[in-house]
Amino acid sequence: MLGAIAGDIIGSVYESAPIKHTDFPLFRKDCFFTDDTALTVAVADCLLSRANYADKFKEYLRLYPFTGYGSAFYTWASSASCEPYGSWGNGSAMRVSPIGMAMDSLDEALEEARRSAVVTHNHPEGIKGAQATAAAVFLARSGATKEDIRRFVATKFGYDLSEPLDSIRPHYGFDVSCRGTVPPAIRAFLESEDYEDAIRKAISLGGDSDTLACITGGIAEAFYGGVPQRIAARVREILDDRLNAMVTEFYDRYIASLSER
């Protein structure tokens, strides 16, 4: 979960000024957490409290109203309605990483990812993006190889993960769809050498940088066994007390117990 949050924070300053290279300061002074972080923590909160996803997402909008939500989500979360609005956007995938870390089986991860998505993203592409990301996280933390992860996601969800980043990068632009975000984010992980390299590669694609890095970061943390301490420490400094407390509670309940499963 910290891997996803760190990706969001590091990528936050490049969403409006995209870059096409990996040589950049990891944390700039103006880095901040966005809606990607707020809703990732909201999902973790739901897993801990067994709260309703729709209610919890609305609660986190009230707590963090100015973090860059998409207009459709903001309208929905500000309203009295709990009916989904058919989104195919990448919001369902950006927030789902805690599910991949918390579930006991791949089937449970897929079902819980669906549940977390459908309250807003009930379009098939919105559900698919959430499930593919959660599956990649689950497989990564369960000892699967990169080839195992690539093959499962490509076969199960029909995503093309074969195009190298060097081929994607020149033509890749801002894309808020799951179909346009999840495959390149997973590809950035597949080509990475370690956690930091994964984040740098995701951001180097340009486009929706914070969300790309958020998705990539959640998978990379699971695969590489955590987030480097210097990165995790900086993230903790940027998060407020409420978010930090929720992250700590989630790790205490789920991450610390992984070795016992």
User: Is residue 52 included in any domain, yes or no?
Assistant: yes
Average pLDDT over residues 104-115: 98
How many structural domains comprise the chain?
Answer: 1
Q: pLDDT by residue (tens digit) across 128-148?
A: 999 999 999 999 999 999 999
User: Is residue 238 included in any domain, yes or no?
Assistant: yes
CB environment 19-37: b (16+ within 10 A), e (fewer): eeeeeeebbeeebebbbbb
User: Is residue 24 included in any domain, yes or no?
Assistant: no
User: Is residue 19 included in any domain, yes or no?
Assistant: no
Confidence of residue 120 (pLDDT cuts 50, 70, 90): very high
User: Is residue 22 included in any domain, yes or no?
Assistant: no
Percent of the chain with pLDDT over 70: 98
Q: pLDDT by residue (tens digit) across 203-212?
A: 999 989 999 9
CATH code, domain with 9: 1.10.4080.10
User: Is residue 23 included in any domain, yes or no?
Assistant: no
User: Is residue 61 included in any domain, yes or no?
Assistant: yes
User: Is residue 172 included in any domain, yes or no?
Assistant: yes
| Long-range CB contact pairs, 244-248, < 8 A, 24+ | 246/41, 246/44, 246/45, 246/48, 247/1, 247/2, 247/5, 247/41, 247/44
Domain that holds residue 71: 2-13+30-260
Confidence of residue 259 (pLDDT cuts 50, 70, 90): very low
